[in-house]
Amino acid sequence: MVNIILLGPPGAGKGTQAKRLVDGRGMVQLSTGDMLREAKTSGTEMGNRVAEVMAKGQLVTDDIVIGLIEEKITGNSGGGFIFDGFPRTLPQADALGRLMEKTGQSLDAVIEMRVDDAALVARITGRFTCGQCGEVYHDQTRPTKVAGTCDACGSHDLRRRADDNEDALKQRLLEYYKKTSPLIGYYYAKGMLADVDGLAQVDAVGVAIAKVLDKS
Ligand code: ADP
Ligand code: AMP
C-alpha cells in the first residue's frame, strides 16, 4: 500500500490518472477540488464563499482544505491514498506531513506531472466529466463513444466546470506557479519527488506512474 501526491498544474492529468489508480489498484482518490465542488452545492454561507473564490480561479484558504483532508485520512485508505490537488501551498504540505504522522501513515511518493502551459488551455477548455462516476473526457482527444453517455457507467450526467474557461485558467496557473510550484523543491529536498512526462498519451503516463509506485 502506498500513499502518493499527484502534483501538477490544472489540466496536467491528475484526475485522469487518479481514476485509473482507483479502478486498477483500489486506491482512494482524495481530490480537494471535488470536495469543494460538493461543498459549493450545499447552499451554506461557506459554500457560497467557496464558489466565488473557485470561479475566479483563486485558492481557497488553507484552513478549509486542511479541514476537509483531516476528515478523510482517518477513513479507509484501500490500496493507498492519492492526494489530487492537495497540498497546493507550503502550509498545506506541512499540515499533511503532520496529519500523516499523527495517524501513523507514511507519504511514499510525490509524482510531478510535467506539461507545458501551451497544452493546458486546449485540455481545460475541452474537458468534461461524468457527474456519477468521475470519468474524465475531452471533446477532441477523449470523447465518449456515444455522444452524451458515459462510457464507464452509462450515465447521461456529463458536466463542464464553471472555472474551465481561459480567464479563470490564467488565474489558476498564476496561483500554481506562485504558491504550488515551491512544493517541487520542498519534496525534492525530502527525497520524495519523481517526475513523469504529462504530455505523453494517457496510457503511457499511467505506465510511468505505475513504475514509480512499484519502486516506492
Ligand atoms: P487535472 O486533474 O490535472 O486538472 P484532468 O485529468 O482533468 O487534469 O485532465 C484535463 C483534460 O486533459 C481532460 O479533458 C483529460 O481528458 C485530458 N487529458 C488528461 N491526460 C491527458 C493526456 N495524457 N493526453 C491528452 N489529454 C489528456
Ligand atoms: P481542482 O479541481 O483541483 O482544479 O480545483 C479547483 C479549485 O478548487 C481551485 O482552483 C481552487 O479554487 C480550489 N482548490 C482545490 N484544491 C485546493 C487546495 N488544496 N487549496 C486551495 N484551493 C483549492
DSSP per-residue string spanning 71-113 = HHTTS--BT-EEEES---SHHHHHHHHHHHHHTT----EEEEE
Residue pair 36/85 in contact by the 8 Å Cβ criterion? no
Residue pair 106/97 in contact by the 8 Å Cβ criterion? no
Residue in 88, 94, 129 to alter for ligand 2 test, most ligand atoms within 8 A of Cβ: 88
pLDDT for the residue numbered 47: 85
Q: Kindly state the percentage of the chain with pLDDT values over 90.
A: 88
- For residues 213 and 159, what is the distance between their CA atoms, to the nearest angstrom? 31
Give how far Cα 53 sits from Cα of 27, 104, 166, 169, 175, Å. 30, 33, 16, 13, 12
The response to whether residue 127 sits with its C-beta less than 6 Å from ligand 2 reads no
The response to whether residue 92 sits with its C-beta less than 6 Å from ligand 2 reads yes
pLDDT for the residue numbered 44: 83
Helix, strand or coil, per DSSP, at residue 7: strand
- For residues 55 and 15, what is the distance between their CA atoms, to the nearest angstrom? 19
pLDDT for the residue numbered 39: 85
Residues with a known catalytic role: 14, 88, 127, 161, 172
pLDDT for the residue numbered 189: 97
Q: What is the pTM of this model?
A: 0.96
Whether residue 80 has pLDDT greater than 90: yes
Return all residues near 23 (Cβ < 8 A) that are at least 6 apart.
Answer: none
178-206 confidence digits (pLDDT tens):
999 999 999 999 999 999 999 999 999 99
Dihedral sign computed on CA atoms, order 185, 187, 189, 194: negative
50-77 confidence digits (pLDDT tens):
999 999 999 999 999 999 999 999 988 8
Q: How sure is the predictor about 208, in pLDDT bands with cuts at 50, 70 and 90?
A: very high
Q: Which ligand is nearest to the CA of 115?
A: 1
Q: How sure is the predictor about 121, in pLDDT bands with cuts at 50, 70 and 90?
A: very high
Atom of ligand 2 nearest to the CA of 86: 19
Q: How sure is the predictor about 46, in pLDDT bands with cuts at 50, 70 and 90?
A: confident
Q: Nearest Cα to 197, choosing from 108, 86, 116?
A: 116
Atom of ligand 1 nearest to the CA of 6: 3
Q: How far is the CA of 93 from the centre of ligand 1 (A)?
A: 24
Q: Which ligand is nearest to the CA of 139?
A: 1
Q: How far is the CA of 146 from the centre of ligand 2 (A)?
A: 30
Residue pair 36/28 in contact by the 8 Å Cβ criterion? no
Q: How high is the mean pLDDT of the chain?
A: 95
Q: How many residues does the chain have?
A: 216
Number of neighbouring beta carbons within 10 Å of residue 183: 20
pLDDT for the residue numbered 86: 98
Atom of ligand 1 nearest to the CA of 138: 14
pLDDT for the residue numbered 77: 83
- For residues 154 and 178, what is the distance between their CA atoms, to the nearest angstrom? 40
